[in-house]
Amino acid sequence: MSECCPPSVPCCGGGGGYSDTFEYGPQPFELGEAFTIAGPVPVVATALAREDRAEARRVRLNVGRDRSRVRPGLYAVGAPDDTSPVLVTGNYRLSFDAVRSAIPGLDAWILVVDSRGVNVWCAAGKGVFSTAEVVRSIRAVHLEQVVGHQRVILPQLAATGVAGHEVRAQTGFGVTWGPVRAADLPAFLSGGMKASPEMRRVRFPLAERAKLIGVELSVLWRPRTLAGVAALIAVVAALDWLAPAIATPLALAGIVAVLSVVVGSAVVPLLLPWIPGRMFSVKGAIAGAVLIGLALAAATSGRFPLYAWGLLAAGSALSAFVAMNFTGSSTFTSPSGVEWEMRRAIPAQVAAAVMGVALFVFGLWIAR
Amino acid sequence: MSGLRYIDDVVTLKLDTGKCTGCRMCTMVCPHAVFEPAERTVRIADRDRCIECGACARNCPEGAISLKPGVGCAAAIINGWIRGTEPSCDCG
């Protein structure tokens, strides 16, 4: 599940803290330097190297994601001159890598603004990829000395935080809204800087949903979760010796808890269009009830004792809650809609969880 | 994936066609094709696709578009409820 706060991870991607004091590591994608009137500019590779892919894998598993940043400033791709296009992006490593790897063989400038290591869309939504930040970046690199034209190409998704007409008023550089996806940059640039309607649409296909589940699931490999699992295993092992009747239900409770998180943060995202319901919590409750029900039926050899019904209710409530949190990572949910859903879903989730736990305890008590 | 839709009739998007000059900037920055060109202005083609990202309002030079932009993640809204503030990702 995506959590806003600990550990310094915002709702939807990367970073958090301000980059003023951030210590940038080595940038292995830099090949050399190009010389401009405004000073030397690093030339960067357009091919992704093995370490770039390893970095992407780590970030997708939420390991070191808030440290995956590129030093803000101007970069060169190919051999750009004063007529070359200026592509603006954020300093989240995956955003920068998406841009440079999309334009092999082209000559262009990449202006990296300090989006605090957050991807373009989320940074724009949070107000850090802002008009002020773009204006500051243009001035900081003396862009007017580097290029003779007065045009910067911004990713369309930055429009949430950047007012194009204000950037022009403050810097003289007009904003052209580029495509949503960096992969469409070559077609956009060769097509006279015109984006097709499809280039302007945000979609949410299976491949993109699949990329998100590592971060969604990363709650499972947090130290606190691992410690909890270890403690539960120890308790179950001790009970197995002291009170064997309780050991199995308790072990099943742990398995159901993990399964609920997996359903809410992986199964629902992957099967999103095919699970019934508009509300994410409804999708989570349905998928949770089916999968947890099957797992419990298998684990109890189809007997399904009373405590298992309790686990089914509580587990479905948990997967509904976790799935509801995926709204923050999805691309088609409105805040008004999320609040509307939460006002209806959370009371039901709490009721089901309380009822489930009560049923579980009562079921164990009568089975003594 | 245009089949993915969220809750209907909840978004706060409003367009004042009286102020609209037809520059069509909103049709460019909207990631969900909510606006479409009309005769000399634009009109809202599919309001329920709006995710309240606020790109249109921020880039409307005439201030013809209003909405309540916000953070769409559940944890942020819970934070807001607990602290009695607007939804916020920051733990503060």
Nearest CA in chain B to A194: B28
Tell me the HSE value of B14 on the side-chain side, using a 13 A CA sphere.
Answer: 8
Of A135, A166, A200, which one is at a domain's C-terminal end? A200
Domain assignment of residue B2, yes or no: no
- pLDDT tens per residue, range A188-233: 999 999 999 999 999 999 999 999 999 999 989 999 999 999 999 9
SS3 of chain B: helix, strand, coil, percent, to 5: 25, 10, 65
Provide the pLDDT for residue B91: 45
Nearest CA in chain A to B69: A335
Task: Name the B residues in 53-92 with CB < 8 Å from any A CB.
Answer: 53-56, 58-59, 61, 68-79, 87-91
Tell me: do A130 and A26 sit in the same domain. yes
User: Under a CB-based contact definition with an 8 Å cutoff, are residues A317 and A356 in contact?
Assistant: yes
Distance CA A213, CA A219 (A): 11
Q: CB A334 to CB B28 under 8 A?
A: no
Q: List the one residue out of A112, A118, A131, A116 whose CA is nearest residue A41.
A: A112
Nearest CA in chain B to A329: B73
Tell me: do A30 and A150 sit in the same domain. yes
- pLDDT tens per residue, range A128-148: 999 999 999 999 999 999 999
Q: Domain containing A269: what range?
A: 206-366
Bridge-based pairing of strands A39-44 and A30-36 is antiparallel
Tell me: do A135 and A213 sit in the same domain. no
Q: CB B7 to CB A200 under 8 A?
A: no
Nearest CA in chain A to B23: A165
Residue B89 in this model has a pLDDT that exceeds 70: no
Number of domains in chain A: 2
Residue B73 in this model has a pLDDT that exceeds 80: no
Tell me: do A146 and A28 sit in the same domain. yes
User: For residue A164, which residues of chain B lie inside 8 Å, CB to CB?
Assistant: 25, 59
Domain containing residue A170: CATH number = 3.40.50.11600
Q: CB A3 to CB B51 under 8 A?
A: no
Tell me: do A233 and A168 sit in the same domain. no
Domain assignment of residue B9, yes or no: no
Tell me: do A65 and A167 sit in the same domain. yes
CA quadruple A209, A214, A219, A222: dihedral, nearest 10: -170
| Cα–Cα distances in angstroms (integers) from residue A176 to residues A55, A162, A173, A199, A252, in the given order | 31, 12, 10, 14, 56
Q: CB A334 to CB B10 under 8 A?
A: yes
Q: Cis omega before residue A7 (within 30°)? A: yes
Domain assignment of residue A224, yes or no: yes
Q: Closest approach of chain B CAs to the CA of A38, in angstroms? A: 30
Provide the pLDDT for residue B90: 56
Arithmetic mean of pLDDT over chain A: 92
Domain assignment of residue A12, yes or no: no
Q: CB A4 to CB B89 under 8 A?
A: yes
User: Under a CB-based contact definition with an 8 Å cutoff, are residues A304 and B20 in contact?
Assistant: no
Domain containing residue B46: CATH number = 3.30.70.20
Nearest CA in chain A to B55: A160
Provide the pLDDT for residue A20: 62
Number of domains in chain B: 1
User: Under a CB-based contact definition with an 8 Å cutoff, are residues A30 and A46 in contact?
Assistant: no
- pLDDT tens per residue, range A268-320: 999 999 999 999 999 999 999 999 999 999 999 999 999 999 999 999 999 99
Distance CA A14, CA B89 (A): 13
Q: Domain containing B78: what range?
A: 14-83
3-state secondary structure of A153: strand
Domain assignment of residue A5, yes or no: no
Domain assignment of residue B47, yes or no: yes
| Cα–Cα distances in angstroms (integers) from residue A147 to residues A37, A50, A58, A96, A135, in the given order | 10, 33, 36, 21, 16
pLDDT > 70 fraction of chain A, expressed in percent and rounded = 95
Tell me: do A336 and A291 sit in the same domain. yes
Residue B40 in this model has a pLDDT that exceeds 70: yes
Q: Closest approach of chain A CAs to the CA of B82, in angstroms? A: 13
Domain assignment of residue B7, yes or no: no
Domain assignment of residue A1, yes or no: no
Tell me: do A173 and A45 sit in the same domain. yes
Domain assignment of residue A183, yes or no: yes
- CA–centroid distance for A220 within its chain: 16
Give the confidence band of A3 by pLDDT, cuts at 50, 70, 90: very low
| Cα–Cα distances in angstroms (integers) from residue A293 to residues A249, A353, A360, in the given order | 14, 15, 14
Distance CA A112, CA A9 (A): 21
Nearest CA in chain A to B52: A334
Q: Is the dihedral of CA A265, A269, A270, A275 positive or negative?
A: positive
Provide the pLDDT for residue A16: 46
Of A200, A228, A257, which one is at a domain's C-terminal end? A200
Domain assignment of residue A58, yes or no: yes
Three-state SS letters, A57-103: HHHHCCCCHHHCECCCEEEEECCCCCCCCEEEECCEHHHHHHHHHHC
Tell me: do A258 and A329 sit in the same domain. yes
Q: Which of B2, B72, B75 sits opposite A3 (nearest CB)?
A: B75
Domain assignment of residue B91, yes or no: no
Nearest CA in chain A to B61: A165
Distance CA A142, CA B7 (A): 46
User: For residue B88, which residues of chain A lie inside 8 Å, CB to CB?
Assistant: 4
- pLDDT tens per residue, range A320-358: 999 999 999 999 999 999 999 999 999 999 999 999 999
Q: Which of B11, B33, B90 sits opposite A197 (nearest CB)?
A: B33
Distance CA A262, CA A275 (A): 15
Provide the pLDDT for residue B71: 67
Beta strands in chain A (DSSP E): 30-36, 39-44, 73-77, 86-89, 108-112, 151-154, 174-177
| Cα–Cα distances in angstroms (integers) from residue B46 to residues A55, A88, A166, B11, in the given order | 39, 30, 28, 11
Domain assignment of residue B44, yes or no: yes
Record the pTM.
0.90
Distance CA A127, CA B25 (A): 20
Q: List the one residue out of A261, A252, A265 whose CA is nearest residue A295.
A: A252
pLDDT > 90 fraction of chain B, expressed in percent and rounded = 67
Tell me: do A212 and A321 sit in the same domain. yes
Residue with tokens 């034209």: A149
User: For the ranges A80-84, A182-186, A245-249, which has the lowest average pLDDT?
Assistant: A245-249
Provide the pLDDT for residue B84: 81
Task: Provide the 8-state DSSP code for A263.
Answer: I
Residue A245 in this model has a pLDDT that exceeds 90: no
Above 0.85 for ipTM, yes or no?
Answer: yes
The arithmetic mean of pLDDT across residues A92-119, rounded, is 96
The arithmetic mean of pLDDT across residues A43-48, rounded, is 97
Domain assignment of residue A9, yes or no: no
The arithmetic mean of pLDDT across residues A109-135, rounded, is 95
Q: CB A332 to CB B3 under 8 A?
A: no
Structure tokens at B10: 């909840």
Domain assignment of residue A6, yes or no: no
Q: Which of A126, A201, A328 sits opposite B74 (nearest CB)?
A: A328
- CA–centroid distance for A146 within its chain: 34
Domain assignment of residue B24, yes or no: yes
Residue A7 in this model has a pLDDT that exceeds 90: no
Tell me: do A165 and A73 sit in the same domain. yes
| Cα–Cα distances in angstroms (integers) from residue A22 to residues A51, A113, B68, in the given order | 21, 14, 33
Tell me: do A170 and A263 sit in the same domain. no
Q: CB A10 to CB B87 under 8 A?
A: no
Domain assignment of residue B23, yes or no: yes
Q: CB B68 to CB A335 under 8 A?
A: yes
Distance CA A292, CA A267 (A): 12
User: For residue B75, which residues of chain A lie inside 8 Å, CB to CB?
Assistant: 2-5, 11, 325, 328
- Interface-testing mutation among B36, B49, B58, with chain A (most A C-beta atoms within 10 A): B58
Provide the pLDDT for residue B74: 79
Of A200, A216, A250, which one is at a domain's C-terminal end? A200
Provide the pLDDT for residue A11: 45
Question: Could you count the other beta carbons within 10 Å of the beta carbon of residue B9?
Answer: 9
